[in-house]
A and B are shown apart, each in its own frame.
Chain A
Amino acid sequence: MGDKKKGFQLSETQLGYLMVLPALILIAAITLWPVAQSFWNSMFDYRLNDPTRNQTTLSYQIDLETYANNYFYIDRDLEAIENEAAGTELEETVAQLRQEIETYHDQLVTLPEIEEQYEIVDEMVMNFEPVNDRDLRYGSLEKDFAEGYISLLEDGQDELLDAIGDHDEEMESALSAGAASLTSLDRSLIRPNFIGLQNYGKYLTDARMWSAMWNTVFFTVVSVFFELTIGLAVALIINRAFIGRGAVRAAVLIPWAIPTAVSAMMWNYLYDGQSGVVAHYFEQLGIISDASVLLSTGSGAMFSIILADVWKTMPYMALLLLAGLQTIPESLYEAAEVDGANRIQRFINVTLPMLKSAILVALLFRTLDAFRVFDLIYVLTGGGPANSTESISVYAYQVLFAQSNFGEGSVLSVIVFLAVALISIIFIKLIGSDLFEGKTGK
């Protein structure tokens, strides 16, 4: 920003756009673009742990390393069958197959966009060097050519496998070796893995998805409800002058400030069936039948998660609402008192309307936070027992990273995104323009 030193001056408006630009670029690059990519990925059969499907592609591709590696054996294997089957009809079929593969191969390696690339890769394969450069390793193929080659290889496999039944053992092993090398060669030709909305079809009828969705909604509604009502009650009670405000404020902030994963570990200990003090006292008080039910039964685990969340977030909610309460002018209450309103009427007619926007904003952020709950559940129960506390984010994480299935996992990501967008739209409609008030300036 040394502009002014060079005597070059920006107008206020130009400077303004220049100043928001970096923020907008960053948001576009690492929030909006990735969401778009998640949408895109969700329409592919895209798995990180499967070499033929570890990228999203709309066109036919060829994995030149695998191809070069396997083409080397094709000739040898097919010739072995020919020798074995000398003089029979099979010899002719296989010879013809070999001829056709060779034609396709010659065509492939002289394709202008592949030729040079193939030579380099072939050289590397001969020297047993791994091809790590993706641009070098993969080439794209014309649809007609690729489909022709693929159907030739697939038909060839079928013919060889069909022939297995009516021959002796030696012939059999030669045939299956030939079929296997055809399969390997076939696998180096990568089909487009665009499958449209098929993943969505799978997950919209998936019982585990719906149970995760239900768990998430249940957790969100119940925990946010208790956080709001208890938080409001606490805020109303402590909205007065008293000694020790600092201590209360600190006590309220610490649970909010510690990492959720750390508080989940703490509660994990407190709920433990053997050494957990909370489980122990709950059992003594007769709230639960046995200390172990808190984490070993579905409803116990859900209760535990909600309690831990209310503990962490209710004080924070009380703090926000208290700040809102303190902005309500005393004169409103005095006027209401003069009009003969009792305490409940004053609460309903003065406090709640004045607090409405503070409550809605707090609710919006809390609901969204609760809906994307991940670390609390992941650390405290791992989604168990038997997936009974699994939230939709935890399920998405499992599919994405435990199963390395980025296509199907992205469907769950997109579902979370759409649900969050829907919740936001509903809340913003309710809150209206209040949300931006006091921020946009002049």
Chain B
Amino acid sequence: MRKRAGVSFYIFLSLFIFVIMFPFLWVFLTSIKPPIEIFAGFNWFTTNPTLQSYISAIDTRPLFLYMWNSIAVSSLTTVIAISVASLAAYAVTRLPIKFKGTILGIVLAAAMFPQIAIISPIFNLIQSLGLRNSYMGLVIPYITISLPLAIWILATFFKKIPFELEESAKLDGATPFQTFRKIIFPLAAPGVFTTAILVFIAAWNEYLFALTINSDDNWRTVPVGLSMYQSQYTIPWGDITAATVLVTIPIVVVVLLFQRRIVAGLTSGSVKE
């Protein structure tokens, strides 16, 4: 039902985008106001923009350290999840094994598990391994979130590659593992990359495990670190908005660069093509 886009449509669209982007816009406008103006009224634009809040945000808390921790934890999680998941997804979609339905069922069930149901045993496990306040202390629980997600999305991508390729590889004398490594995996690379982005974002955003396991300020990740800016008595809105802008920039860059891939990954699970 391809309709033409008229003037009223573009008005609606602009309004929609404005509403969606308004919180970011306002937070950005606040972050460049001198702190005194933040509490003084609701002017949209300040006449003397300043970076004061940014300097204070970086000074009061180790914001760049939080970002580095997040990058380290999310990258490690992504690498481990993708390597394990691509093997499993390949076997489930393209090799003649039994119990495929059961295996995917377990994967789906694992994706649905509420994190709160496993947090206390995981906490005990990490504690007894001596991994609290370390990167691995978060990477291990993050596997529970990222592995099912990765298998689920990768399975869709692997399925789309034509099966004739394997037949001809077999005729050429390739072993099944060679077929996977040299033919299917490179062909699925765009799908693998998409999955990696989604896994990375999921790990980047995780809050509950990060809050309980890495309680030392030097090991905090971005979401937890940012939520610690509010103190009991005063709320430094200037610092908070500046820090929010700083941690949102990398996400905006990733989204702008990879938006097509992200959408392809998000819709792969829910839409039949």
Using CB atoms and an 8 Å cutoff, list the residues of chain A in contact with chain B.
1, 3-4, 9-13, 15-17, 19-20, 22-24, 26-27, 30-35, 37-38, 41, 234, 237-244, 246-255, 257-270, 272, 274-275, 277, 280, 311, 315-316, 319-320, 323-324, 327, 330, 333, 346, 357-358, 361-362, 368, 371-372, 374-375, 378-379, 393, 396-397, 400-401, 406, 409-410, 412-414, 416-417, 420-421, 424, 434-442
Contact = CB atoms under 8 A, between A and B. Distances in A.
A30 B141 contact: yes
Given A12-B96, A393-B114, A439-B159, A410 B1 contact: no
17 contacts: A16-B91, A19-B87, A23-B88, A30-B125, A34-B122, A37-B121, A237-B9, A254-B252, A257-B201, A258-B205, A259-B204, A272-B237, A372-B116, A397-B116, A414-B117, A436-B101, A441-B94
Interface string B184-196: 0000000000000
A230 to B, nearest CB: 10
Contact of B144 (A30, A243, A378): A30
SS of A interface (majority): helix
B208 A374 contact: yes
Which of A270, A323, A412, A441 has the most chain B CB atoms inside 10 A of its CB? Answer: A441
A253 B223 contact: no
Interface in B61-109: 84-85, 87-88, 90-97, 100-101, 103-109
A22 B116 contact: no
A20 B259 contact: no
A435 B108 contact: yes
Contact of B90 (A19, A259, A267): A19
Interface of B: 1-5, 9-10, 12-13, 16-17, 20-21, 23-24, 26-27, 30, 38-39, 42, 84-85, 87-88, 90-97, 100-101, 103-110, 112-122, 124-125, 140-141, 143-144, 147-148, 151-152, 155-156, 159, 163, 175-178, 201, 204-205, 207-208, 211-212, 222-224, 226-227, 229-230, 235, 237, 240-241, 244, 247-248, 251-252, 254-256, 259-260, 262-263, 266-267, 269-273
Given A20-B91, A440-B93, A442-B163, A243 B262 contact: no
A261 B224 contact: yes
A422 to B, nearest CB: 11
Given A17-B91, A438-B159, A27 B259 contact: no
Contact of B208 (A31, A275, A375): A375
A19 B179 CA distance: 14
Contact of B121 (A26, A41, A330): A41
B255 A253 contact: yes
A315 B20 contact: yes
B271 A324 contact: yes
Interchain residue pairs A-B with the least CB separation, the first 9: A16-B95, A261-B223, A23-B88, A16-B97, A34-B118, A323-B267, A34-B121, A375-B207, A37-B121
Contacts of B42: 277, 280
Contacts of B227: 261, 264-265, 379
Nearest to A360: B270
A3 B92 CA distance: 21
B88 A251 contact: no
B254 A23 contact: no
Contacts of A22: 84, 87-88
Nearest to A40: B121
Nearest to B19: A311
A259 B20 contact: no
Contacts of B237: 269, 272, 275
B177 A3 contact: yes
Given A242-B10, A266-B24, 10 more contacts: A16-B95, A37-B120, A241-B4, A249-B260, A253-B263, A269-B241, A323-B266, A393-B116, A416-B117, A417-B114
Contacts of A9: 175
A261 B20 contact: no
B109 A424 contact: yes
A10 B92 contact: no
Nearest to A243: B5
Contacts of B9: 237, 240, 242
A267 B85 CA distance: 36
Contacts of B143: 26, 30
B97 A17 contact: yes
A254 B164 CA distance: 39
A266 B96 contact: no
Nearest to B3: A240
Nearest to A324: B271
Contacts of B156: 438-439
Contacts of B23: 263, 266-267, 270, 311
Contact of B101 (A12, A246, A357, A440): A440
B51 to A, nearest CB: 19
Contact of B255 (A12, A257, A263, A361): A257
B112 A368 contact: yes
A255 B22 CA distance: 11
Which of B39, B117, B208, B270 has the most chain A CB atoms inside 10 A of its CB? Answer: B117
A265 B27 CA distance: 10
A17 B87 CA distance: 10
Given A266-B23, A323-B263, A10 B177 contact: yes
B115 A323 contact: no
Contact of A244 (B13, B108, B159): B13
Contacts of A253: 255, 259, 262-263
A23 B120 contact: no
B263 A319 contact: yes
A9 B176 CA distance: 9
A283 to B, nearest CB: 11
Nearest to B115: A372
B87 A20 contact: yes
Contact of B2 (A241, A316, A420): A241
Contacts of B84: 22-23, 26
A8 to B, nearest CB: 10
Contacts of B94: 441-442
Contacts of A250: 255-256, 259
Contact of A20 (B26, B97, B122, B177): B97
Contact of A327 (B88, B107, B155, B272): B272
Contact of A440 (B27, B92, B204): B92
A19 B58 CA distance: 46
Nearest to A393: B116
